[in-house]
Structures are given as structure tokens and as C-alpha cells.
Amino acid sequence: MFDLLVIGEINPDLIIQGSDVVPAFGQAEKLVEEATLTIGSSSVIMACGAARLGLKVAFIGLIGEDEFGRFMLRGMQQRGIDTSACVVDPTVQTGMSVILSGTTDRAILTYPGAIPLLKREQINGLSPRRSGSRILTQARHLHVGGYFLLDNLRPDLPTLFAAAKQHDMSTSLDTNWDPRERWDVAAMFPHCDLFLPNEEEVLHITQQADFAAGLDDLAAQIPTLAVKMGAKGGMAKQGETAVTSPPLKVNVIDTTGAGDSFDAGFIYGYLHSWTLQKSLHLATACGSLSTRAAGGTSAQPALAEALTHLDPKGFDKK
């Protein structure tokens, strides 16, 4: 039995770091301080964080039969993630993100490649031994990431969430940014137990100018919210109960994937029936600690390390 089944995008990240990483057109060449090819994509980084914390994780996604795809499968497998239900299609190319990471901000250029091409029938059409639909009966929790990038699968995701609920699975969603800025995700909410947006996404999805109003709108539709708030840490809400948690003070090298590690920490607490406050503290600890190295996975903490940063005062036995 898997603790967590993740469906989402698969692509590596090329992280360019330096004091000035803004390209200069006109055939000008700039030198940068560092370049790192690493495990990328929000969904995979989250899955790696969850596996690092000790959850048993399986993944479903689409890649091409190419070096980027093999790089990603190797990376997931080395971290203990079951990739047997991933689809390898020789007719498509694995996507890639180039992250320009400056001292105070970053920009992302993404070639989607195979990401938007995953279809429901590919999940159901695997051989019986590797069937994605069979895995739905072998996991406790289903998480979908990169929602707005999964173009072919997106219309079927509400039905997939509903099917998961019929199998007594809990469900969670992290949409990430909508490149088209349409923010049409409401069809997922009736089947979603846990929603993990960031502060800006709350405003866009709810079309509210005020964060508190947006949070109330979502809380009326989804049982549990966990919101990433960058340098302010995070906030979680269940009904009328809202809690906050500040980030840890660490030497920040790269914030790539910090929100995905946040997701992993919160889902760990959620699956272990921790209190809302303790789950959020673990989430912000995982997100903060992940920023100590370049890339989203290199500095992800194990559970024992993350727990040393949690203040035990006020926590119950869970």
C-alpha cells in the first residue's frame, strides 16, 4: 500500500544562478556564477520531499524516451519513488524548465514538452501489472500537481478525484501558476480534501482583491487549506480555525521548489492526523530547509531533521 500517489508533470530544471542573470539580447554574452541540472517540476519535487520524510510514494506522469526523461526517472527511483506507472512515449519530448535565479528574484522559462499530453486513457491503458487505475486502489492519498499544465488530463481530473474518493482515498491539489491566467479550477473543489495554493494564487483563483476574503471563499468549499506565503511562512485553515507559522531562519541559496517541500511536509502531517498547527509547522520547516542548496531536492530534510526545528510546546501527542 502506498501512502501517496502523485499525478503530475515531469521535467528537469536547469538553474542559472548569479548576481545578474537577466539575458541581454543583441547577441551579447554574459557569464554567470553557477549552472545546475537537477530534478525539477513541482509534482516530482513534492514527491521527493514526501519520500524523504518517509512516506511510500508512487508517481504517474508522461515523459519522452530521451535523456531528460531517463534523468528524471533515475532521480525519482534513487529517492525511493515507485515509477512503474509512469508512461514513456518515444513520440514526445520530455519538457524542461530554465530557472534564472538572481539574488532577490527569479524567472522561469518552461518548455512543456510531454507535460500537457498525458491522457486519462494512458493511465487506464497501461498493462494490468502497471495500471494507474489499479494503483488508485493501492494508495491512501492522491495528490495532483501542475494542474494548469496538464491540458489533456485536466478535463478528467474531477472524475479521477471522485473515483479516488470512492476508493476511500483522501485528495489534495496544488495548481501552481496558470500560464494562461484563466484560473478555472472550481470543478475540482467538491472532490478536494486539501488545497495547497500560494498567496498570489488565492487571489487569482477567487478573483478577490483581499487575501482574507479569498481564503474565506476557499474555506467554504474545501475542508483544509494550506497556503504558502514566501518570506512570511505559511497559513492553514479548517473551517473557522486558522493558524500561521513563520519560516525558519536559514542561509538561503535557492528557493526553487520550496513551496513543493512545504506541500510534502503538510501532507505528511495530514496523513498522520497531526493537528493543523503541527502540520503547518512541519510544512514551513520543510520549505525553509529546502532552500539551503541549489535545486528543489538537494536540501530536502528527513523527518528527524525537520522535527528538530519544531517547537514541541503546545503540541498534543499527535
For 157, phi then psi, to 5°, come to: -65, -35
Query: What pLDDT is attached to residue 132?
Result: 53
Q: In this structure, is the dihedral angle defined by the CA atoms of residues 118, 120, 122 and 127, taken in order, positive or negative?
A: positive
Q: Where are the alpha helices (DSSP H) in 193-252?
A: 199-206, 211-219
Alpha-carbon distance of 259 to 279, in angstroms, equals 14
pLDDT digits (tens, 9 = 90+) for 108-151: 898 999 999 999 988 864 444 445 556 777 899 999 999 999 99
Q: Which residues pair with 58 in a beta bridge?
A: 5, 82
Q: Left if phi > 0, otherwise alpha if psi is -120 to 50, otherwise beta: which for 113?
A: left
Question: What's the rounded mean pLDDT across residues 1-7?
Answer: 95
Query: What pLDDT is attached to residue 314?
Result: 42
H or E element in which residue 96 lies: strand 94-101
pLDDT digits (tens, 9 = 90+) for 267-299: 999 999 999 999 999 999 999 999 999 899 999
Q: How close are the terminal C-alpha atoms of the chain, in Å?
A: 22
The count of other CB atoms within 10 Å of the CB of residue 119 is: 15
Residue with the three cell numbers 509512469: 86
Is residue 234 packed enough to be buried (19+ CB in 10 Å), middle (13-18) or exposed (0-12)?
buried
For the CA atoms of 173, 170, 282, 299, what is the dihedral angle to 10 degrees?
-60
Q: In this structure, is the dihedral angle defined by the CA atoms of residues 28, 32, 37 and 38, taken in order, positive or negative?
A: negative
309 to each of 138, 162, 318, how far by Cα in Å? 33, 37, 16
Confidence band, pLDDT 50/70/90 cuts, at residue 313: low
Q: Which domains does the chain have, with CATH numbers?
A: 2-8+52-60+116-302 (3.40.1190.20)
- Among 49-53, 108-112, 132-136, 176-180, top mean pLDDT goes to 49-53
Residue with the three cell numbers 477567487: 206
User: What is the residue type of 197?
Assistant: P
Question: What's the rounded mean pLDDT across residues 194-214?
Answer: 97
Alpha-carbon distance of 142 to 59, in angstroms, equals 10
Mean pLDDT in the chain?
92
